[in-house]
Amino acid sequence: MEKIIIKGGRPLRGQVTVEGSKNAVLPLQAAAILAVQGTVTLNNVPPVTDVQLMNRLLRFLNLKTAYGEKQRQLVINGSVPLSSEAPFEYVNQMRASLLVMGPLLARTGQARIALPGGCSIGARPIDLHLAGLRKLGATIKQDAGFIDARCDHLVGSRITLDFPSVGATENLMMAATMAEGITTIENAACEPEIVELANLLNKMGGRVHGAGSKVIRIQGVYYLHGAEYTVAPDRIEAGTWMLAAAVTNGDVIVRNAAAAYNTSLIAKLEEMGVTVIKQEDGIRVLGTSVLIPASVKAMPYPGFPTDLQPQMTVLQLLANGTSTMEEHVFEQRFNHLEELRRMNADFQIAGSVAILDGPTRFSGTEVAATDLRAGAALVLAGLAATGITQVCNPQCLDRGYYDFYQKLHQLGAQIDRFDVKEKFKIKPEQPRQENKGSEPE
């Protein structure tokens, strides 16, 4: 079993560079399905396991993918007849596999996608995706754990989302690019990843307007072709490093971080007494030994990002007094708090509100990561804790952070990762030496 081991109590110092955005790349990979000729080349693609899994799914669908880790460049070619079935083994490991549904429908007229299973942060239904595709003219059936979507051709429509779902907005944008006529998506998600997807679709010959606002208009075209696009830095990874600097009272420059993508986090850090300096090459974060409590609401963009909520609760628990965290995106995203309780955290949960009583003297112990961002939160708590913290299931960190513990090590953390089985492998029995009068063992 793999573990990350941390000896806490050291301030992080130095600089760390942010990779490209995982949550921008995944829909861009799916969008490559729409290119009936030419290749889609993506730059600044992070070597994280979610991106690798999406590439495996694209290859299963008969697209060709080639990734150069050194150059961080991914080239995808789908100008061949495609399969249209995404099996359970992919969807079950990564819900974002669902993002191939819209482009497959637009490209091939059909998509057979395994229903995603459960998830540790909430039910995460897909009703908004399906309702929007039906509005575009798809007939959708569900049988034997699969969604079967078909259409002769998609027709533009006016779609209003009950909730500004990121994935539903992305799926429907991609489906609508080749629908007949105009599609409007109202109450659309406004995340930066939506803008990146629109940028690529337009470079591929699409006609998408209004991305980043609540209303997106798409004029359908006959076909899309290959294009090249460079992905923006990962705003959630950048925010995680900023919070790591703050929880250790450190001094860290987060290179490549774009302050414009993290305005809500920066505002809250400054409210809590942390110093944030926007520089040419990134963002410098200086911690403080006296943190002021704050109330935070995790909301759709441009609100405080739910993907930084677990990491932020660690900082709030260190503050001198009571803070609150309200989670308004997912209905079950406080699992990490029960793990933090084992490190001395004191809190109550009332529905979607966590009441966090600081200051906490985190003490190291063994904890388990339940998802990518909860895992990051547990590592941050370990960095701030006295004693040794062991974080089990660190593989979930690899989904969205590249070289996570190595980068923390470079910032001065006493941290390592190893496979317990390997490390303490029982060596095969050695023949015992005859004990000829030597010292007793």
Q: Is 125 annotated as a binding residue?
A: yes
Beta carbon nearer to ligand EPZ, 11 or 375: 375
Q: Is 128 annotated as a binding residue?
A: yes
Beta carbon nearer to ligand EPZ, 299 or 392: 299
Among 9, 122, 212, 302, binds ligand EPZ (CB under 6 A): 122
Beta carbon nearer to ligand EPZ, 340 or 372: 372
Cβ-proximal residues to 352 (8 Å cutoff; 6+ apart), any chain: 326, 327, 328, 331
- Say how many residues touch ligand EPZ, by CB under 6 A: 24
SS3 51: helix
* Beta bridge partner(s), residue 208: 218
Beta carbon nearer to ligand EPZ, 7 or 328: 328
CB of 302 to ligand EPZ, least distance (A): 12
Name the residues annotated as catalytic.
119
Cβ-proximal residues to 40 (8 Å cutoff; 6+ apart), any chain: 28, 31, 32, 75, 76, 77, 78, 200, 204, 226, 227, 228, 229
**How far apart, in whole angstroms, are the C-alpha atoms of residue 169 and residue 126?**
12
Site map for ligand EPZ, 312-351, x if CB under 6 A?
A: -----------------xx---------------------
> Before 302, cis peptide (omega within 30)?
yes
Contact at 8 Å (CB) between 345 and 337?
Answer: yes
Among 39, 373, 384, 404, binds ligand EPZ (CB under 6 A): 373
Contact at 8 Å (CB) between 76 and 116?
Answer: no
| Alpha-carbon distances of 329 from 27, 100, 126, 211, 340, rounded to whole Å | 20, 23, 14, 20, 21
Q: Is 329 annotated as a binding residue?
A: yes
Q: Is 30 in the site for ligand EPZ (CB under 6 A)?
A: no
CA torsion angle 328 157 125 198 (round to 10): -70
**How far apart, in whole angstroms, are the C-alpha atoms of residue 147 and residue 113?**
5
**How far apart, in whole angstroms, are the C-alpha atoms of residue 279 and residue 259?**
9
**How far apart, in whole angstroms, are the C-alpha atoms of residue 328 and residue 323?**
16
Q: Is 127 annotated as a binding residue?
A: yes
Using CB under 6 A as the binding rule, the residues of this chain from 158 to 217 that contact ligand EPZ are: 163, 165-168
CB of 288 to ligand EPZ, least distance (A): 28
Using CB under 6 A as the binding rule, the residues of this chain from 393 to 412 that contact ligand EPZ are: 400
Using CB under 6 A as the binding rule, the residues of this chain from 296 to 315 that contact ligand EPZ are: 306-307
CB of 189 to ligand EPZ, least distance (A): 6
Q: Output Rg (C-alpha) for the chain, integer angstroms.
A: 24
Binding segment toward ligand EPZ, per CB under 6 A, in 56-64, 126-134, 204-212, 285-293? 126-134
Q: Is 384 in the site for ligand EPZ (CB under 6 A)?
A: no
Q: Is 23 in the site for ligand EPZ (CB under 6 A)?
A: yes
Beta carbon nearer to ligand EPZ, 262 or 360: 262
CB of 314 to ligand EPZ, least distance (A): 16
**How far apart, in whole angstroms, are the C-alpha atoms of residue 132 and residue 88?**
22
Residues annotated within the binding site are 22-23, 95, 124-128, 307, 329
Instruction: Give the footprint of ligand EPZ on this chain (CB under 6 A).
Output: 23, 26, 95-96, 122-129, 163, 165-168, 306-307, 329-330, 372-373, 400
